[in-house]
Structure 1
Amino acid sequence: MHALIIRTSILGENSSSNELINHWVSTHNPTQVTERNLAAAPIPHLDGARFAAINAPEPSAEQQPIQALSDTLIAEIEQADAIVIGLPMYNFGVPSQVKSWMDHLARAGRTFKYTPEGPKGLLADKPVTIIATRGGAYAGSPHDHQAPFVKQFLGFIGLTNVHFVYAETLASERRAAVIGDARTAIAAA
Protein backbone atom coordinates (compact mmCIF):
# COMPACT_ATOMS: atom_id res chain seq x y z
CA MET A 1 0.00 0.00 0.00
CA HIS A 2 1.22 3.48 -0.92
CA ALA A 3 0.08 6.02 1.68
CA LEU A 4 -0.03 9.78 1.23
CA ILE A 5 0.46 11.48 4.60
CA ILE A 6 -0.58 15.12 4.95
CA ARG A 7 0.71 16.80 8.10
CA THR A 8 -0.73 20.21 8.90
CA SER A 9 -0.01 20.97 12.55
CA ILE A 10 2.06 24.02 13.42
CA LEU A 11 3.13 22.29 16.66
CA GLY A 12 5.64 19.89 15.07
CA GLU A 13 6.85 17.27 17.55
CA ASN A 14 4.32 18.47 20.15
CA SER A 15 1.39 17.83 17.82
CA SER A 16 -1.34 15.36 18.74
CA SER A 17 -2.31 14.94 15.08
CA ASN A 18 1.31 14.14 14.15
CA GLU A 19 1.52 11.65 17.03
CA LEU A 20 -1.64 9.94 15.78
CA ILE A 21 -0.44 9.96 12.16
CA ASN A 22 2.72 8.19 13.35
CA HIS A 23 0.49 5.61 15.03
CA TRP A 24 -1.50 5.14 11.80
CA VAL A 25 1.74 4.51 9.87
CA SER A 26 3.06 2.04 12.47
CA THR A 27 -0.21 0.06 12.64
CA HIS A 28 -1.02 0.04 8.91
CA ASN A 29 2.59 -0.45 7.81
CA PRO A 30 2.40 0.95 4.27
CA THR A 31 5.05 -0.29 1.85
CA GLN A 32 5.55 3.23 0.47
CA VAL A 33 4.91 6.62 2.08
CA THR A 34 4.73 10.03 0.45
CA GLU A 35 4.67 12.72 3.09
CA ARG A 36 3.75 16.36 2.67
CA ASN A 37 4.15 18.62 5.70
CA LEU A 38 2.06 21.71 4.99
CA ALA A 39 3.22 23.44 8.17
CA ALA A 40 6.94 22.97 7.52
CA ALA A 41 6.64 23.74 3.79
CA PRO A 42 3.49 25.83 3.34
CA ILE A 43 1.83 26.15 -0.01
CA PRO A 44 1.29 29.81 -0.95
CA HIS A 45 -2.19 31.20 -0.46
CA LEU A 46 -4.33 31.72 -3.50
CA ASP A 47 -4.37 35.11 -5.20
CA GLY A 48 -5.48 36.20 -8.67
CA ALA A 49 -2.15 35.51 -10.36
CA ARG A 50 -1.81 32.10 -8.72
CA PHE A 51 -5.41 31.16 -9.62
CA ALA A 52 -4.79 32.15 -13.25
CA ALA A 53 -1.56 30.11 -13.34
CA ILE A 54 -3.12 27.00 -11.85
CA ASN A 55 -5.93 27.08 -14.40
CA ALA A 56 -4.02 28.31 -17.47
CA PRO A 57 -4.58 26.00 -20.48
CA GLU A 58 -1.10 26.95 -21.72
CA PRO A 59 0.83 28.40 -18.80
CA SER A 60 3.45 31.05 -19.47
CA ALA A 61 7.03 30.53 -18.33
CA GLU A 62 6.16 32.50 -15.19
CA GLN A 63 3.02 30.41 -14.56
CA GLN A 64 4.61 27.00 -15.20
CA PRO A 65 6.15 26.49 -11.72
CA ILE A 66 2.83 27.37 -10.06
CA GLN A 67 0.88 24.94 -12.23
CA ALA A 68 3.62 22.33 -11.74
CA LEU A 69 3.07 22.52 -7.96
CA SER A 70 -0.64 21.93 -8.48
CA ASP A 71 0.15 19.02 -10.80
CA THR A 72 2.47 17.52 -8.18
CA LEU A 73 -0.13 17.79 -5.40
CA ILE A 74 -2.76 16.13 -7.61
CA ALA A 75 -0.32 13.40 -8.67
CA GLU A 76 0.42 12.63 -5.01
CA ILE A 77 -3.26 11.86 -4.50
CA GLU A 78 -3.55 9.89 -7.73
CA GLN A 79 -0.53 7.71 -6.92
CA ALA A 80 -1.62 6.90 -3.37
CA ASP A 81 -3.73 3.92 -2.34
CA ALA A 82 -4.72 5.60 0.93
CA ILE A 83 -4.56 9.15 2.26
CA VAL A 84 -4.14 10.23 5.88
CA ILE A 85 -4.67 13.86 6.83
CA GLY A 86 -3.86 15.29 10.24
CA LEU A 87 -6.43 17.98 10.89
CA PRO A 88 -6.06 20.07 14.04
CA MET A 89 -8.79 22.61 14.66
CA TYR A 90 -7.60 26.21 14.78
CA ASN A 91 -10.16 28.85 15.70
CA PHE A 92 -13.10 26.62 14.70
CA GLY A 93 -11.77 25.82 11.22
CA VAL A 94 -9.11 24.09 9.18
CA PRO A 95 -5.53 25.31 9.31
CA SER A 96 -4.97 27.88 6.57
CA GLN A 97 -2.28 25.58 5.15
CA VAL A 98 -5.00 22.99 4.42
CA LYS A 99 -7.08 25.58 2.58
CA SER A 100 -4.07 26.51 0.41
CA TRP A 101 -3.52 22.82 -0.38
CA MET A 102 -7.18 22.46 -1.35
CA ASP A 103 -7.04 25.59 -3.53
CA HIS A 104 -4.22 24.00 -5.52
CA LEU A 105 -6.14 20.72 -5.90
CA ALA A 106 -9.41 22.19 -7.19
CA ARG A 107 -8.96 22.45 -10.97
CA ALA A 108 -11.89 22.46 -13.36
CA GLY A 109 -11.44 19.79 -15.99
CA ARG A 110 -8.64 18.12 -14.01
CA THR A 111 -10.03 17.19 -10.58
CA PHE A 112 -13.69 18.12 -11.09
CA LYS A 113 -16.13 19.13 -13.79
CA TYR A 114 -19.59 20.64 -13.86
CA THR A 115 -22.34 18.53 -15.39
CA PRO A 116 -26.09 19.10 -15.83
CA GLU A 117 -26.54 17.04 -12.64
CA GLY A 118 -24.04 19.17 -10.73
CA PRO A 119 -20.31 18.92 -10.02
CA LYS A 120 -18.54 15.59 -10.55
CA GLY A 121 -15.22 14.68 -9.00
CA LEU A 122 -12.66 13.32 -11.45
CA LEU A 123 -10.17 11.70 -9.09
CA ALA A 124 -10.43 7.95 -8.48
CA ASP A 125 -11.86 7.30 -5.04
CA LYS A 126 -9.66 5.80 -2.34
CA PRO A 127 -9.83 5.67 1.46
CA VAL A 128 -9.10 8.92 3.24
CA THR A 129 -8.58 8.94 7.01
CA ILE A 130 -8.92 12.31 8.67
CA ILE A 131 -7.36 12.51 12.13
CA ALA A 132 -9.25 15.43 13.66
CA THR A 133 -7.64 16.79 16.83
CA ARG A 134 -9.45 19.40 18.87
CA GLY A 135 -9.16 21.06 22.25
CA GLY A 136 -12.93 20.93 22.79
CA ALA A 137 -15.82 18.72 21.68
CA TYR A 138 -17.31 19.67 18.30
CA ALA A 139 -17.97 16.48 16.28
CA GLY A 140 -21.57 16.30 15.11
CA SER A 141 -22.45 19.68 16.58
CA PRO A 142 -23.43 22.89 14.80
CA HIS A 143 -20.01 24.22 15.83
CA ASP A 144 -18.09 21.71 13.71
CA HIS A 145 -17.32 23.84 10.66
CA GLN A 146 -14.31 21.70 9.84
CA ALA A 147 -15.45 18.11 9.16
CA PRO A 148 -18.40 18.96 6.86
CA PHE A 149 -16.22 21.38 4.86
CA VAL A 150 -13.37 18.90 4.41
CA LYS A 151 -15.73 16.05 3.52
CA GLN A 152 -17.56 18.24 0.99
CA PHE A 153 -14.33 19.39 -0.63
CA LEU A 154 -12.89 15.88 -0.90
CA GLY A 155 -16.16 14.62 -2.40
CA PHE A 156 -16.11 17.51 -4.85
CA ILE A 157 -12.84 16.19 -6.33
CA GLY A 158 -13.95 12.53 -6.21
CA LEU A 159 -12.80 11.29 -2.80
CA THR A 160 -15.94 10.08 -1.05
CA ASN A 161 -14.55 7.21 1.07
CA VAL A 162 -13.74 9.53 3.98
CA HIS A 163 -13.43 8.31 7.57
CA PHE A 164 -12.90 10.60 10.56
CA VAL A 165 -11.01 9.65 13.71
CA TYR A 166 -11.72 12.26 16.37
CA ALA A 167 -9.44 13.13 19.27
CA GLU A 168 -11.51 15.75 21.07
CA THR A 169 -11.27 17.49 24.46
CA LEU A 170 -7.48 17.37 24.26
CA ALA A 171 -7.32 20.56 26.34
CA SER A 172 -8.89 18.74 29.29
CA GLU A 173 -7.62 16.35 31.94
CA ARG A 174 -8.87 13.54 29.66
CA ARG A 175 -6.09 14.07 27.11
CA ALA A 176 -4.33 10.73 27.73
CA ALA A 177 -7.59 8.78 27.51
CA VAL A 178 -8.64 10.64 24.35
CA ILE A 179 -5.32 9.87 22.66
CA GLY A 180 -5.67 6.23 23.73
CA ASP A 181 -9.19 6.01 22.28
CA ALA A 182 -8.01 7.59 19.02
CA ARG A 183 -5.10 5.16 18.81
CA THR A 184 -7.55 2.27 19.21
CA ALA A 185 -9.83 3.70 16.49
CA ILE A 186 -6.86 4.14 14.15
CA ALA A 187 -5.68 0.57 14.68
CA ALA A 188 -9.20 -0.73 13.99
CA ALA A 189 -9.68 1.32 10.81
Structure 2
Amino acid sequence: MSLSILRLDSSINGAASQSRELTDQTIAKLLGAHPDAQVTTRDLAKNPVPMIDNAWLAAVNTPAEDRSDAQNAIADLSDELIAEVQAADVVVIGVPVYNFTIPTQLNAWIDQITRAKVTFQYGENGPEGLIKDTKAIVVLASGGTKVNSPIDFASTYLNHMLGFVGITDVTYVAADAMFADRDAALENAQASLNALAA
Protein backbone atom coordinates (compact mmCIF):
# COMPACT_ATOMS: atom_id res chain seq x y z
CA MET A 1 0.00 0.00 0.00
CA SER A 2 1.39 3.40 -0.97
CA LEU A 3 2.07 6.12 1.56
CA SER A 4 -0.74 8.65 2.01
CA ILE A 5 0.37 12.23 2.67
CA LEU A 6 -1.81 15.17 3.64
CA ARG A 7 -0.15 18.53 3.02
CA LEU A 8 -1.45 21.67 4.72
CA ASP A 9 -0.18 25.15 3.84
CA SER A 10 -1.19 28.18 5.87
CA SER A 11 1.17 31.01 4.94
CA ILE A 12 -0.35 34.16 3.45
CA ASN A 13 2.93 35.01 1.69
CA GLY A 14 2.45 32.84 -1.38
CA ALA A 15 5.62 32.12 -3.36
CA ALA A 16 7.65 34.27 -0.94
CA SER A 17 6.79 32.01 1.98
CA GLN A 18 9.69 30.29 3.73
CA SER A 19 7.39 27.70 5.28
CA ARG A 20 6.02 26.80 1.83
CA GLU A 21 9.52 26.40 0.42
CA LEU A 22 10.51 24.10 3.28
CA THR A 23 7.24 22.21 2.95
CA ASP A 24 8.00 21.68 -0.75
CA GLN A 25 11.35 20.21 0.25
CA THR A 26 9.75 18.01 2.89
CA ILE A 27 7.24 16.62 0.41
CA ALA A 28 10.06 16.04 -2.10
CA LYS A 29 12.00 14.13 0.56
CA LEU A 30 9.00 11.91 1.29
CA LEU A 31 8.32 11.32 -2.41
CA GLY A 32 11.98 10.47 -2.94
CA ALA A 33 11.61 7.67 -0.41
CA HIS A 34 8.08 6.75 -1.51
CA PRO A 35 7.68 7.55 -5.24
CA ASP A 36 4.20 6.05 -5.35
CA ALA A 37 2.91 8.10 -2.41
CA GLN A 38 -0.41 9.89 -2.78
CA VAL A 39 -0.43 13.56 -1.77
CA THR A 40 -3.58 15.47 -0.86
CA THR A 41 -3.03 19.22 -0.57
CA ARG A 42 -5.04 21.84 1.30
CA ASP A 43 -4.00 25.46 0.98
CA LEU A 44 -5.70 26.99 3.98
CA ALA A 45 -4.62 30.51 3.03
CA LYS A 46 -5.87 30.46 -0.56
CA ASN A 47 -8.95 28.36 0.25
CA PRO A 48 -9.68 28.87 3.95
CA VAL A 49 -12.08 26.64 5.79
CA PRO A 50 -14.86 28.40 7.72
CA MET A 51 -14.46 29.37 11.31
CA ILE A 52 -16.69 27.33 13.60
CA ASP A 53 -19.75 29.05 15.04
CA ASN A 54 -23.11 28.24 16.61
CA ALA A 55 -24.41 26.84 13.33
CA TRP A 56 -21.42 24.51 13.12
CA LEU A 57 -21.89 23.36 16.68
CA ALA A 58 -25.55 22.63 16.08
CA ALA A 59 -24.83 20.79 12.82
CA VAL A 60 -22.14 18.44 14.08
CA ASN A 61 -24.11 17.65 17.22
CA THR A 62 -27.32 16.82 15.35
CA PRO A 63 -27.71 13.17 14.29
CA ALA A 64 -27.06 12.85 10.54
CA GLU A 65 -30.60 11.66 9.85
CA ASP A 66 -32.08 14.73 11.54
CA ARG A 67 -29.94 17.43 9.91
CA SER A 68 -31.30 20.06 7.60
CA ASP A 69 -29.72 20.56 4.18
CA ALA A 70 -27.79 23.53 5.54
CA GLN A 71 -26.56 21.48 8.49
CA ASN A 72 -25.52 18.66 6.17
CA ALA A 73 -23.37 21.07 4.16
CA ILE A 74 -21.66 22.31 7.33
CA ALA A 75 -21.09 18.85 8.79
CA ASP A 76 -20.03 17.36 5.45
CA LEU A 77 -17.06 19.72 5.20
CA SER A 78 -15.93 18.88 8.72
CA ASP A 79 -16.34 15.18 7.96
CA GLU A 80 -14.30 15.58 4.76
CA LEU A 81 -11.45 17.31 6.59
CA ILE A 82 -11.44 14.65 9.28
CA ALA A 83 -11.49 11.84 6.70
CA GLU A 84 -8.40 13.32 5.03
CA VAL A 85 -6.50 13.17 8.33
CA GLN A 86 -7.74 9.69 9.15
CA ALA A 87 -6.63 8.44 5.73
CA ALA A 88 -3.16 9.99 6.00
CA ASP A 89 -0.07 8.14 7.12
CA VAL A 90 1.73 11.48 7.39
CA VAL A 91 0.34 14.99 7.80
CA VAL A 92 2.81 17.68 6.72
CA ILE A 93 1.83 21.04 8.20
CA GLY A 94 3.41 24.24 6.94
CA VAL A 95 3.37 26.75 9.79
CA PRO A 96 4.51 30.36 9.64
CA VAL A 97 4.55 31.89 13.10
CA TYR A 98 2.37 35.00 13.29
CA ASN A 99 2.30 36.96 16.54
CA PHE A 100 3.97 34.08 18.41
CA THR A 101 1.38 31.49 17.37
CA ILE A 102 -0.16 29.70 14.41
CA PRO A 103 -2.12 31.45 11.63
CA THR A 104 -5.86 31.90 12.02
CA GLN A 105 -6.37 29.79 8.90
CA LEU A 106 -4.65 26.80 10.48
CA ASN A 107 -6.51 27.30 13.74
CA ALA A 108 -9.81 27.16 11.82
CA TRP A 109 -8.78 23.78 10.35
CA ILE A 110 -7.89 22.47 13.81
CA ASP A 111 -11.28 23.56 15.13
CA GLN A 112 -13.00 21.76 12.24
CA ILE A 113 -11.26 18.44 12.91
CA THR A 114 -11.52 18.51 16.71
CA ARG A 115 -14.84 16.73 17.19
CA ALA A 116 -16.08 14.96 20.30
CA LYS A 117 -16.74 11.24 19.73
CA VAL A 118 -15.17 11.51 16.27
CA THR A 119 -11.53 12.51 16.79
CA PHE A 120 -11.46 12.47 20.60
CA GLN A 121 -13.49 11.18 23.49
CA TYR A 122 -13.50 11.39 27.26
CA GLY A 123 -13.22 8.26 29.35
CA GLU A 124 -12.27 7.19 32.86
CA ASN A 125 -8.69 8.32 32.26
CA GLY A 126 -9.58 11.63 30.67
CA PRO A 127 -9.36 12.59 26.99
CA GLU A 128 -8.35 10.02 24.38
CA GLY A 129 -7.38 10.87 20.81
CA LEU A 130 -9.08 8.71 18.20
CA ILE A 131 -6.84 9.34 15.19
CA LYS A 132 -4.43 6.45 15.33
CA ASP A 133 -1.27 5.55 13.40
CA THR A 134 -0.86 8.99 11.83
CA LYS A 135 2.40 10.93 12.03
CA ALA A 136 2.87 14.68 11.69
CA ILE A 137 5.76 16.69 10.32
CA VAL A 138 5.47 20.33 11.31
CA VAL A 139 7.41 22.64 9.00
CA LEU A 140 7.76 25.85 10.98
CA ALA A 141 9.24 29.19 9.99
CA SER A 142 9.50 32.23 12.23
CA GLY A 143 11.15 35.61 12.23
CA GLY A 144 11.72 36.29 15.89
CA THR A 145 10.28 33.34 17.80
CA LYS A 146 12.57 30.50 18.87
CA VAL A 147 10.93 27.07 19.10
CA ASN A 148 10.46 25.96 22.72
CA SER A 149 11.17 29.46 24.03
CA PRO A 150 8.81 31.11 26.55
CA ILE A 151 7.19 33.11 23.72
CA ASP A 152 6.61 30.09 21.47
CA PHE A 153 2.87 29.49 21.54
CA ALA A 154 2.86 27.87 18.11
CA SER A 155 4.63 24.55 18.71
CA THR A 156 3.23 24.14 22.22
CA TYR A 157 -0.33 24.59 20.94
CA LEU A 158 0.20 22.29 17.97
CA ASN A 159 1.77 19.59 20.12
CA HIS A 160 -1.18 19.71 22.47
CA MET A 161 -3.91 19.76 19.83
CA LEU A 162 -2.33 17.10 17.63
CA GLY A 163 -1.87 14.88 20.67
CA PHE A 164 -5.41 15.62 21.80
CA VAL A 165 -6.79 14.00 18.65
CA GLY A 166 -4.28 11.14 18.83
CA ILE A 167 -1.34 12.31 16.71
CA THR A 168 1.56 11.97 19.12
CA ASP A 169 4.39 11.19 16.68
CA VAL A 170 5.34 14.77 15.73
CA THR A 171 8.60 15.83 14.08
CA TYR A 172 9.69 19.43 13.50
CA VAL A 173 11.56 20.95 10.58
CA ALA A 174 12.09 24.44 11.94
CA ALA A 175 13.70 27.54 10.52
CA ASP A 176 13.08 29.62 13.60
CA ALA A 177 14.25 33.05 14.75
CA MET A 178 15.44 33.90 11.24
CA PHE A 179 15.71 37.61 12.06
CA ALA A 180 18.59 36.79 14.41
CA ASP A 181 20.53 34.54 12.02
CA ARG A 182 18.76 33.50 8.84
CA ASP A 183 21.58 31.32 7.53
CA ALA A 184 21.86 29.36 10.77
CA ALA A 185 18.09 28.93 10.97
CA LEU A 186 17.92 27.53 7.44
CA GLU A 187 20.90 25.27 8.11
CA ASN A 188 19.12 23.87 11.18
CA ALA A 189 15.98 23.28 9.12
CA GLN A 190 17.99 21.45 6.45
CA ALA A 191 19.63 19.28 9.10
CA SER A 192 16.21 18.31 10.45
CA LEU A 193 14.97 17.68 6.91
CA ASN A 194 17.96 15.47 6.12
CA ALA A 195 17.35 13.51 9.32
CA LEU A 196 13.74 12.71 8.49
CA ALA A 197 13.08 8.99 8.54
CA ALA A 198 12.38 7.64 5.08
Q: Report TM bin, short chain.
A: over 0.9
What is the CA-CA distance between 1:33 and the residue it aligns to? Answer: 0.4
**For residue 3 of structure 1, what is the aligned residue in structure 2?**
5
Q: Does residue 191 of structure 2 align to residue 184 of structure 1?
A: yes
What is the CA-CA distance between 1:81 and the residue it aligns to? Answer: 1.1
What is the CA-CA distance between 1:54 and the residue it aligns to? Answer: 2.6
Distance in 2 (alpha carbons) for counterparts of 1:126 and 1:82: 6
**For residue 60 of structure 1, what is the aligned residue in structure 2?**
68
Q: Does residue 99 of structure 2 align to residue 91 of structure 1?
A: yes
What is the CA-CA distance between 1:141 and the residue it aligns to? Answer: 1.6
Q: Does residue 51 of structure 2 align to residue 45 of structure 1?
A: yes
Q: Does residue 161 of structure 2 align to residue 153 of structure 1?
A: yes
Identity %: 38
Residues 86 and 132, structure 1, Cα contact 8 Å, conserved in 2: yes
Pair 93,125 (structure 1): closer, same or farther in 2 beyond 3 Å: same
Q: Does residue 122 of structure 2 align to residue 120 of structure 1?
A: no
* Aligned residue identity for 2:121: K
Q: Does residue 29 of structure 2 align to residue 27 of structure 1?
A: yes
What is the CA-CA distance between 1:22 and the residue it aligns to? Answer: 0.5
Q: Cα RMSD over matched residues?
A: 1.3
Moved over 3 A (4+): none
Distance in 2 (alpha carbons) for counterparts of 1:8 and 1:54: 25
Q: How many residues align?
A: 188
Q: Does residue 182 of structure 2 align to residue 175 of structure 1?
A: yes
Residues 129 and 164, structure 1, Cα contact 8 Å, conserved in 2: yes
**For residue 14 of structure 2, what is the aligned residue in structure 1?**
12
Quick one: which of 139, 142, 146 aligns to 1:138?
146
**For residue 36 of structure 1, what is the aligned residue in structure 2?**
42
1:118-162, Cα deviation, whole Å (9 max, x unpaired): 000111132101011110142122111111111111111111111
* Aligned residue identity for 1:122: L
TM-score (norm 2): 0.90
1:13-38, Cα deviation, whole Å (9 max, x unpaired): 10001000100111121421000000
- Structure 1: runs of 5+ lacking an equivalent: none
Secondary structure of 1:110's match? coil
- Structure 2: runs of 5+ lacking an equivalent: none
Distance in 2 (alpha carbons) for counterparts of 1:129 and 1:67: 27
**For residue 117 of structure 2, what is the aligned residue in structure 1?**
109
TM-score (norm 1): 0.94
1:6-62, Cα deviation, whole Å (9 max, x unpaired): 000000110001000100111121421000000010011111112221332232211
